[in-house]
Chains A and B, each alone.
Chain A
Amino acid sequence: MTLRRVLIANRGEIARRVIRAARVRGIESVAVFSEADAQSPYVLEADISVAIGPPEARLSYLDPDKILAAAKATGADAIHPGYGFLSENASFARAVIAAGLTWIGPPPDSIEAVGDKRRAREVAKAAGVPTVPGYEGPDDDATLVREANRIGFPLLVKASAGGGGKGMRKVLDPAGLADAIASARREAESSFGNGRLILERCIERARHIEVQILGDHFGHVVALLERDCSLQRRHQKVIEECPSPSIDATSRASVLAMGVAVAKAAGYANAGTAEFLLAPDGAFYFLEMNTRLQVEHPVTEEVTGVDLVGWQFAIAAGKKLTLTQDAIASYGHAMEFRLYAEDPASGFLPQPGLLRRVKLPAGPGIRVDACAIDGMEVTGFYDPMIAKIIAHGANREEARLRLIDALRQTVVLGVRTNTAWVLDVLNSDPFINHTLDTTWAERELAERPWLQPSAPDSVWYALAAFLSAGRSDSVRSGSQGQSPKSPSPFDATDGFRLVRRSAE
């Protein structure tokens, strides 16, 4: 089968990544966009773009009917879901296939078998892969309370359909259980339309290791190394690395084999990720599979040289996966930083707003996957990620130093970001020695709230020169404590906004 035109049911940097992978394969791309994204660069880059409604995701990117109608209207023969939104929605995948289109993702049955935490635990147990001690049976409140007392505290209440910390609550003692169940269920229902919960013992000081899987429709499955995503805040990853500095060759072989075993048991095909906890005693516990391309797939691509999105297209088109486990290359080390519009000094709350200036880094060993330009708005409707900055080096230290240098070149003005905080983390001993775990950042911040570094003298001099050169109004008003409203010559070029209206 040959794919000719793919619709990307997503937005932002991942839409751009898929457009480019399609283009080098001679496949045309169709972008869909909500009103909030009409002027986003990915919309321009696609061969065709289609408006699919208002900014609210449930009325646009999460509306299967709108996506399918757009595919029909543009003559697309395939749909790539990216990550998030409808990417792990088995009934959407079925609807795509029923409409006669190619679904660039795993078979819907596999999505159901391992994408849901409850079923994933069952599949893994059947395949002989260890899971975290816990409970995944009927989930009425009374049963959950009984099972929680059996498992012991602290424990985690998790939305079976959840991810990224959504619908997840840590419970320290029986007193907090009822509240946690109610609130997790509510968040799960509103986020995933499914309030089903599971319980897991809380494994303290665990690291997050995940195995990149590729499988074809002929039963061949390989593991493309692992990623270590132990630096997290609010249960969301901030830095991801490949390979993991936490494990040796023996442990690596063991966890890669577990990942392949789960994928095979689920009849998995296309790209996916098997997630594991690495306990302080060295034991791995399978958590679930992410049945899609991951945000952090670039670190694997940099180290293995494999184009994961390219293989997604090939596998979906029915081609055989020609990679063999023994032949998977591993060169050096890669690290990805997720640059978010969020304020590390106030609990990492998202910071929607206007990007007044964006300048992303470049150079040897630096890759940037982004879809942000000057004058663009970070809205409250979607994930506030601005860019992914990936550094690749001959070893971990070279990758770390390249990433630091890249961050020092990065300019994002207008919204607060996590860059300065991550620069501090990248220079800290726990990061350098890799002694951190998934709750390290949380504990560290609770102990010592992070403070924005104060400006060095040179920046004060720059401010003085800027005020002297152009900000004559504020020179007068500065001493009166009033900033000016009148524009200076410098404002004129800074606040420009794109005015292009996209074709319907």
Chain B
Amino acid sequence: MKPIDVRYNEGGTTRRLAARPRGNQLLVAMDGAAEVAVSLSRDDSGGWVLQTPEGRSRVHIVVDGQRILICHLGVVHEFRADDPARSSGPGAGDREVRAPMTGKVVDVAVKAGDQVEAGATLVVLEAMKMEHRMKATAAMTVVHVHAERGGLVELGALLVTLEPRDKP
């Protein structure tokens, strides 16, 4: 075990974890609070047993790219190292409509220059034999349509670029 002093984020909550080893335990101070002695050991099922003063719990942990996934009592928590640069301004996601899954474009309802209102259907995707309607999240202007009717798109593919409508 090594000393750590890191910031991690789960679902919008960032916590600072500072820890130092003592014997075969780890003293963890979370968000500057008092240190708590914990230990983590492998169990017989490929998981880990965590021991804290409050008791024992069993967790399963895998590292998946940028994420650390921890399953505890059936619920999976996704952690990422906190990166202030990642939190770009609000609305960035609204300007790019991306494919939420791999599928086929069955309809393109807009063209460049169109003014769309919040809730307007932009593109209809079909995946797993279900139709998914990609909709505008605000009143916007269509800048570019990248999707083509009948085309196949991968997860995350850019479908439509929008820009906020000039305020009158």
Contacts and interface: CB of A to CB of B under 8 A. Distances in A.
Interface of A: 165-166, 183, 186-187, 190-191, 234, 346, 349-350, 352, 356-357, 359, 380, 382-384, 407-414, 416-417, 419-420, 423, 451-469, 471-472, 474-475, 477-479, 481-483, 488, 490-491, 493-494
A461 B50 contact: yes
B62 A455 contact: no
Given A186-B106, A455-B70, A479 B38 contact: no
Q: What 5 pairs between A and B have smallest CB-CB spacing?
A: A481-B83, A478-B6, A465-B40, A455-B77, A464-B17
B7 A357 contact: no
A116 B56 CA distance: 54
A453 B78 CA distance: 11
Nearest to A186: B106
Contact of A357 (B60, B68, B127, B132): B60
B54 to A, nearest CB: 7
Say whether chain B's binding surface is mostly helix, strand, loop, or mixed.
strand
Nearest to A169: B131
B157 interface: no
Contacts of B70: 455, 459, 462-463, 466
Contacts of B34: none
A352 B102 contact: yes
Contacts, number: 199
B113 interface: no
Nearest to B49: A462
A185 to B, nearest CB: 12
A481 B2 contact: no
The contact size tier of chain B is 35 or more
A346 B155 CA distance: 14
29 contacts: A166-B129, A166-B130, A190-B106, A352-B102, A359-B46, A380-B127, A383-B128, A409-B74, A411-B74, A420-B74, A420-B76, A454-B13, A457-B30, A458-B72, A459-B77, A461-B28, A462-B48, A462-B70, A463-B17, A465-B50, A466-B70, A468-B21, A468-B26, A475-B5, A477-B81, A478-B7, A481-B83, A481-B85, A494-B62
Contacts of A458: 50, 52, 54, 57, 72
Given A458-B52, A462-B40, A466-B40, A478 B8 contact: yes
A382 B69 CA distance: 25
B86 A481 contact: yes
A154 B85 CA distance: 48
Contacts of B102: 352, 380
B69 A414 contact: yes
